[in-house]
Amino acid sequence: MGYVTISLKIPEDLRGRMQQLNFKPSDVRFLIERETRAKELESLGKRVDKLKSAFDKISETEVVKLLREDRDSR
């Protein structure tokens, strides 16, 4: 796995508050990872909802029919 460097500028007062709380800039990596995972799960949830609505349009009898046809074709 490769790494890239990301730099950002923050206000001086924020940096001071971070120091007072012993919040290290390296802790930001954890926060980025956590937020990225949350966004990925949100995106997957939306995709599942779309697929669910598509599958809801297919009747159970249609699914059974398609499975039988597939089995018979083997």
This model's pTM is above 0.85? no
User: Count of residues for the chain?
Assistant: 74
| Alpha helices (H) in the chain, listed in sequence order | 12-20, 27-56, 60-72
Domain edges within the chain = 12-72
Residues 22-74: pLDDT tens digits? 999 889 999 999 999 999 999 999 999 988 888 888 888 888 888 899 899 88
Phi/psi for 8 (5° steps) reads: -150, 155
CA dist., res. 69 & res. 12, Å (int): 69
| Residue in the block written with tokens 């919040």 | 23
- What lies within 8 Å, CB to CB, of 17 at 6+ separation is 23
